[in-house]
Amino acid sequence: MTSPPTLYRTGVSGVVALSLAAVTAVAGSMLFAHSATAAPTLAVTGYAEEGTANSAIDASAAAMATVGVDGININSAGTSAPAPDAGATSLLAKAHADNLRAEFLVGNYSSSIGDFDPAALDRLLSSPSNINSVVTTVVNAVNSQGWDGVTIDFESILGQDAQGLVDFSTALKQAMPAAKTVSIDVTAYQTAAEYTANGYNLSGLGGAVDRIALMAYDEHGPTWNGVGPIGGLPWQEACLRQLLTQVPAAKVDLGVAGYGYTWPKTGTGRQVSDAQARQMVAGDGSTATWDSTQGEWTATLKNGTVMWWSDAKSWPLRATLAQKYAVHGMALWSLGLSDPLPVTAPANGFSVAASPASGSVAAGASSTSTVSTAVTSGTAQSVALTAGGVPAGASVSFSPASVTAGSSSTMTVTTSSSTPVGTYPITVTGRAASGSHTATYTLTVTTASGSTVYEAEASSSVLAGGAKVVTCAACSGGARVGYLGGTGTLTMKNITVATAGSYQVTIAYTNGDTGNLRIMLSVNGGANATFTGAPTTNWDTPATGTITVSLAVGTNTILFSNTGTTGDVPDIDKIAVVSK
């Protein structure tokens, strides 16, 4: 689970022990107490190597959902793997005694080479019969020993084995009883190319398993690169964001370090537990520095040894990162090295609702709705309210404009005489430190005169012969139809009346010429009538005129044209048919 492998399962003995008072002086507020009754809001897995004390599981039990026990490894031929031994099953029993789930890890670590064995893994993943053999052993162990699932912990994967890894994961999941889970540990990288080169088909794995644990640690280490944080926050976020481009957040656990490394001036550094890191600093009389950017501690001892470690103060920052991206949970390496885990406080959450959720007003009138907020998790926070999708000529106000989650505000939607008739979904947005949530209020605007308005640029209209929709800020709906006359025509459809007869039609138009312009109207293909429009301020400023036409009961069409003319004709903004 921890890589690169040269420090895998490295012992951390031989550190000078200090008094509890000395340790506390260095740790300060880093050691967190947790409530035995609090429930974690992120699903947390804590990994335990064989030999981990029961007390380490007890100390973090209230913060966890699962214990991952390390575990078993395939043989060098890639043909088989043993069942978990007595040391592993004792940790299984302890997890169940603490009402926790327990999974065992199956990996490709080789004690003979002191490393993960890519050749053995290739022999497994390139052979369907070997895959079947190992899957059978693993599933039998789950069933016979009472495990709740399995974590695949294959590392140092060859790029050529990416599909084999998906095949193994798929076969294991298909063979596993329905109530049991299959997870996989994935080394963290910042680019898609790096994942591919290192044998990870992320989308394939995401479809095959229940959970992917991103091992977002070992960014730096004594035997593979320079001095630096174990898993700094900026690097972790970059790796997580890349993973989430191919794997659903609900399937992802963010892996977090609970240990540190040393970089001596000469020789090879080693892994240290959180407590031992503080002991080394205190025993040396040196001072640890908290790096707020990386979210980790660092120190330089008097002999020049540099140290970095991630501990209980680092954990809540990673919890915030996990909650930011709404992932399933977190995974700690490891319980035997880390401080006791603090219970993750629930992220502050809220909801927004509008009641009533709709309203209808005549142009020039106002409508109100109560916008209520509620705390859905965590504690109440300040929520600022805004509205979008407001129609032209209308405005929205909130009283008050900001509330504490759990409180309400009155939203007033005020229209004007120029607000176009229509139905408008207004989006009410509440913004807080934790994010934003929305509700929809549907506003219907009718005309004050009792007439029905039809927009020239409506989707039901038919434009032909070069007629075009032209942007017009002062026009109803923000547009008009121009380039009429000559071959340009506009047919407005669905002009609906309840009874047949003569109707007064008000036409909103623009005429930027200096003299009157005329356009012909034909209702339902009948004889033409002439509408004359006086000059307006310019082509973007509408005016109105009226004409009386005969309409049939039901739906009608009105054709605007001046076929054959070469001069200007009015542009059409909208028409309003006065109801009888």
pLDDT digits (tens, 9 = 90+) for 178-207: 999 999 999 999 999 999 999 999 999 999
CA distances from 367 to 214, 375, 412, 416 (A): 50, 27, 6, 12
The reported pLDDT for the residue numbered 395 is: 94
Confidence of residue 566 (pLDDT cuts 50, 70, 90): low
Please say if the pLDDT value at position 435 is more than 50: yes
Residues 294-336: tens digit of each pLDDT:
999 999 999 999 999 999 999 999 998 998 898 999 999 999 9
**423 — pLDDT class (breaks 50, 70, 90):** confident
pLDDT at 9 over 90: no
Residues 497-513 as b/e (b if ≥16 CB within 10 A, e otherwise) read beeeeebebbbbbbbee
Alpha-carbon dihedral 317, 323, 325, 331, rounded to 10 degrees? 70
Q: How far apart are CA 521 and CA 525, in angstroms?
A: 9
Compute the chain's Rg from CA coordinates. 35
CA dihedral 48, 52, 54, 58 (to 10 degrees): -50
**Rounded average pLDDT over 517-534:** 92
In the chain the first and final C-alpha atoms are separated, in Å, by 79
In the DSSP assignment, the letter for residue 113 is: T
* Of the ranges 172-176, 224-228, 548-552, 572-576, the best mean pLDDT one: 172-176
Give the residue with greater pLDDT, 216 vs 11.
216
Please compute the mean of the pLDDT values over residues 281-291 and round it to a whole number: 97
Alpha helix (H) ranges present in 338-426?
Answer: none
pLDDT at 168: 98
Given a cut of 70, whether residue 18 has pLDDT beyond it is: no
* pLDDT, position 580: 61
Contact in structure between 211 and 150 (CB atoms under 8 Å): no
| pLDDT tens digit sequence for 142-169 | 999 999 999 999 999 999 999 999 999 9
Question: In 10 A of CB 143, how many CB atoms?
Answer: 12
**pLDDT higher at 223 or 293:** 293
pLDDT bucket at 449, cuts 50 / 70 / 90 = low
Cα(521)–Cα(501) distance, integer angstroms: 16
**Phi and psi angles of residue 271, each rounded to the nearest 5 degrees, phi first:** -85, 145
Give 446 or 34, the one with higher predicted confidence.
Answer: 446
Are 338 and 274 in contact by the 8 Å Cβ rule? The answer is: yes
Among 8-22, 123-137, 356-370, 424-438, the range with the most confident prediction by mean pLDDT is: 123-137
Residue 450's pLDDT is 65
**Domains of the chain from N-terminus onward:** 43-258+312-333 (3.20.20.80), 349-446 (2.60.40.10), 452-577 (2.60.120.260)
Confidence of residue 448 (pLDDT cuts 50, 70, 90): low
Mean pLDDT of the chain: 89
Share of the chain above pLDDT 90, in %: 74
- In SS3 terms, 544-557 reads as EEEEEEEECCEEEE
- Tokens describing residue 231: 């898993």
**Distance of alpha carbon 463 from alpha carbon 458, whole angstroms:** 10
Q: How far apart are CA 563 and CA 439, in angstroms?
A: 49
Check pLDDT > 50 for residue 2.
no
- According to the model, what pLDDT value does residue 3 have? 40
Residue 80 has pLDDT above 90, yes or no: yes
Predicted confidence at residue 564, as pLDDT, reads 62
Angle between helices 128-145 and 118-125 (to 10 degrees): 100
* pLDDT number for residue 349: 82
Please compute the mean of the pLDDT values over residues 418-446 and round it to a whole number: 88
Highest mean pLDDT among 15-29, 261-275, 422-436, 482-496 belongs to: 261-275
